[in-house]
A and B are shown apart, each in its own frame.
Chain A
Amino acid sequence: MTHTAPAVTAARTARPTRRRTSPTGESRPVRWGRWIALTLVSLFALLPIYWMVLTSLRSPSDVFTFPPNFLPTNITFDAFQTIFADGRLLHYLGNSLLVASVTAVGSVFVGMYCAYSFSKFRYRGRRSFMFLLLVSQLFPQILLLITIYGLFSAMGLLDSYLALIISFTTFTLPLCVWMMKGIFDNIPDEIIEAAKVDGAGQGVIIHRILLPLIAPGMIAAGLFAFIRGWNDFVFALTLSGEATRTLPPGLVNTYLSEFSNRWPELMAASLVASIPVILIFLALQRYFVAGLSSGAIKG
């Protein structure tokens, strides 16, 4: 990177005199095309979210006017009061927080040891196992759910937090392993060799020497796992009971049936379920693209 910098700078300073198009070096139609495209895509992406927020802040009488009004008038927090006054939302919220957090911690630790093994050792079956991680993501999950349901039922795990945590952790493992393997690959072996020479055992090497080095990557992987656990619907729907129900199945089972057509409440509940993932995602920004290309995310 650095060695090309002077040339780039030179090219850039030379540009304005050389080019009669735009400061960015694009011809006018291309620049207009870019702006039009970005505007349309942004409207497509953001108007629905604006509509969700706006609806959640309205009274039912304002929502049921036709044609709809796009401006934020008569703002009220009634819908939020209603859904929080109903204790179930908080209950589901607590369950989601618990399950997603334990999933995040679990996948990071299980994934870390696995990634270390993949990155720093060579043994028979290693490539096959890595391949299996890759392929496992292509299996139809609904099909897996059938036997998992039977298995957890036989083990008495249905309706338990553990059932959700075990399954979410497994589904986030491939991502966590691939992300962290990428980080371990970039840690020079010399560090490990030097520690060995100094008499450090594997436990010390992993926990005292490597762990601090990969901590940022672990946090990123953990937050992705959190989002996965937070967002999951069908496994939570099938494997949880009322006591352990997380937000997504909770919203569908309770709110969609009881609050159907009560759009301000439904949108307020949707917003409550979205805010944690949006905040986490914003915090993750700088790991994001790297994470995607080293062990991409979800669909």
Chain B
Amino acid sequence: MVTAPPLPAPRRSASRSTPRPGSRGGLFPLLLIAPAATLLITVLIYPLVGALVDAFFESNLLYPEKTFVGFENIISAFQGQFWPLLATTLTFAIPATILPFLVGLVAALGLNQRMRGRAVLRSVLLFPWVLPGVVVSFLWLWIFDANYGVLNGVLRSAGIISENIGWLDSGPGAMTAVIVARTWASFPWMMVMLLAALQSFPGDTYEAARVDGANSWQRFRYITVPGLMPVASVVVLLEFIWNFQQFDLLYVLTGGGPAGSTTTFSLAVYETAFKGFDLGMAGALGVLWMVILLPVVLLYLRRMEADN
């Protein structure tokens, strides 16, 4: 669960609110940002740098001394855990980005029409997204339960399976479970963002297209899709970055198992640092993680730049 940066918002009357060049205010504006800056440097910048520096040391949570080892950690991470971890992380992150997007898109398109009860439905559909990650995990742990879980019950009653499936006991089953749980918890956010974008479309565009003889599909293809692209690309990129960070669901629902089949970067870094106490290796995995995500982050930032 992460707080997100701003998304391309409908631009406000920037000109009116931009102060005249005179409002520099000397040191006063710096004083105003000082508390925020202190917190950010202490809790975000310093820790990030600290973890990345650790990658070049033999560093252990239990001992204060550190020895410089250069690229040794990074090389051994690269030759060892890195590729399997990357594969697992992508196996989780790609479907867990696409599925919530699709469900969110369908929900947004469905709600983009005046109708009775729309406001109620929109807020109720957001419930999965506000629940704590731990609660989401407990809930899906119960649904996927091998013996009495409702999923097996429904599938058996419907005659789709004849014997209970131990979803969380097999790699593919456990991965399916976390992806489904993640889809459930994050589609509402996508829905709200896409719906806000849809509602910012000028209504007469559709009317004009209709007059010109465009059918529903053409209006969707040539007005809705291009109009949604800016917001869609931002939410997809952010969701992908967040999925690399996802911890709660993986930790509680599958614990990274069985046999490491759902151990992603974030779980591996956590385990390496807090169970194995090997800060050097955790930092090395972090360096590789950031290198892998860098293109996605840059793409996202360029997108934001374009919108502002």
Contacts and interface: CB of A to CB of B under 8 A. Distances in A.
Given A114-B33, A238-B274, A274-B135, A37 B106 contact: yes
B32 A114 contact: yes
Interface stretch (B69-77, B166-174, B222-230, B241-249): B241-249
A295 B6 CA distance: 4
A122 B26 CA distance: 10
B286 interface: yes
Given A234-B248, A296-B4, A138 B44 contact: no
Given A48-B140, A256-B252, A289-B192, A146 B54 contact: yes
B213 interface: no
Nearest to B200: A293
A230 B132 contact: yes
Nearest to A281: B130
Interface string B134-146: 1100111011010
Interface string B279-297: 1001100100110010001
Overall SS of chain B's interface = helix
A67 to B, nearest CB: 4
A144 B40 CA distance: 11
B10 interface: yes
B113 interface: yes
A79 interface: no
Contacts of A51: 139, 142-143, 150
Contacts of B133: 231, 233, 248
A13 to B, nearest CB: 14
B148 A141 contact: no
B80 interface: no
B3 A137 contact: yes
Interface residues of A, number: 116
B175 interface: no
A45 B286 contact: no
A67 B157 contact: yes
Contact of B124 (A45, A65, A111, A249): A45
Contact of A175 (B3, B42, B132): B3
Nearest to B150: A68
B306 interface: no
Contacts, number: 361
Nearest to A166: B43
B48 A143 contact: yes
Contact of B125 (A41, A113, A144, A247): A41
Given A175-B3, A296-B6, A186 B12 contact: yes
Interface in A10-53: 11, 24, 26-27, 29-30, 34, 37-38, 40-42, 44-46, 48-49, 51-52
Interface in A56-71: 63-68
B40 A170 contact: yes
Interface in A123-175: 123, 126, 129, 132-151, 166-167, 169-175
A50 to B, nearest CB: 10
Contacts of A230: 132
Contacts of B132: 230-231, 233, 247-248, 273-274, 277
B67 to A, nearest CB: 17
A147 B47 contact: yes
A95 to B, nearest CB: 14
Interface stretch (A82-90, A212-220, A262-270): A262-270
Of the candidates B14, B50, B251, the one having the most CB atoms from chain A within 10 angstroms of its own CB is B50
Contacts of A243: none
A273 B132 CA distance: 8
Interface in B190-248: 192-193, 195-196, 203, 207, 216, 238-239, 241-245, 247-248
A177 B36 contact: yes
B238 to A, nearest CB: 6
B36 A114 contact: yes
Nearest to A238: B274
Interface string A191-235: 000000000001000000000000000000000000110111110
A151 B54 CA distance: 14
Contacts of A66: 147-148, 153
Nearest to B20: A189
A3 interface: no
Given A68-B148, A150-B61, A263 B142 contact: yes
Contact of B139 (A48, A175, A177, A282): A48
Interface of A: 8, 11, 24, 26-27, 29-30, 34, 37-38, 40-42, 44-46, 48-49, 51-52, 55, 63-68, 110-111, 113-114, 116-123, 126, 129, 132-151, 166-167, 169-175, 177-178, 182, 184-189, 202, 227-228, 230-234, 238, 247-249, 251-252, 256, 263, 266-267, 269-270, 273-274, 277-278, 281-282, 285, 288-289, 292-299
25 contacts: A29-B216, A37-B106, A44-B184, A65-B148, A67-B157, A117-B33, A137-B2, A139-B48, A143-B269, A143-B282, A146-B279, A147-B51, A150-B50, A171-B2, A228-B1, A233-B133, A233-B134, A234-B251, A267-B142, A269-B138, A278-B127, A278-B131, A292-B196, A297-B4, A299-B239
Given A65-B148, A142-B273, A143-B283, 11 more contacts: A37-B107, A44-B103, A51-B150, A143-B269, A151-B47, A171-B3, A173-B40, A266-B142, A267-B139, A293-B6, A298-B2
Top 6 A-B residue pairs of the complex, sorted by shortest distance between their CB atoms: A147-B50, A299-B242, A147-B47, A121-B29, A117-B32, A170-B43
